[in-house]
Amino acid sequence: MKPGIHPEYRPVVFQDAATGDAFLTRSTTTSDRTIEWSDGNTYPLVLVDISAWSHPFWTGTRRIMDTAGQVEKFRRRYGRREAGGAR
């Protein structure tokens, strides 16, 4: 690796904004916020909107989306295209 062109790779804490769960890993991301970790050291803190602790796929809580309502809204707005019609 060329010296001086790569960002600093260091320990960083990522925290889920929804659940408050956090994990320590290494990253090149930067942050102005810090957190004191259980080992007594202070690390940069990066808040994430979603992680494995709050993602619907991993938690098993799935939201039912109103896809029928969205399709009807689209058809009202743009009309219904006839099959085999001009494109």
In-domain check, residue 84: no
Beta strand pairing status for 34-36 and 42-48? antiparallel
Domain that holds residue 42: 10-77
Residue 82 lies in a domain: no
Question: In this predicted model, which residue has the larger pLDDT, 57 or 48?
Answer: 48
Q: Is 4 a residue whose pLDDT tops 80?
A: yes
pLDDT at 63 (0 to 100): 60
- Res 68: pLDDT: 67
**pLDDT tens digit string along 55-70?**
766 666 666 556 667 7
Asked, for residue 60, whether it belongs to a domain, the answer is yes
Mind listing the pLDDT tens digit for each residue in 12-36? 999 988 888 999 999 999 999 999 9
User: Residue 8, by phi and psi: left (phi above 0), alpha (psi -120 to 50) or beta?
Assistant: beta
d(CA 12, CA 33): 11
Q: How many domains are there within the chain?
A: 1
Place of tokens 């295209």: 81
Which of the four pLDDT bands, split at 50, 70 and 90, describes residue 74? confident
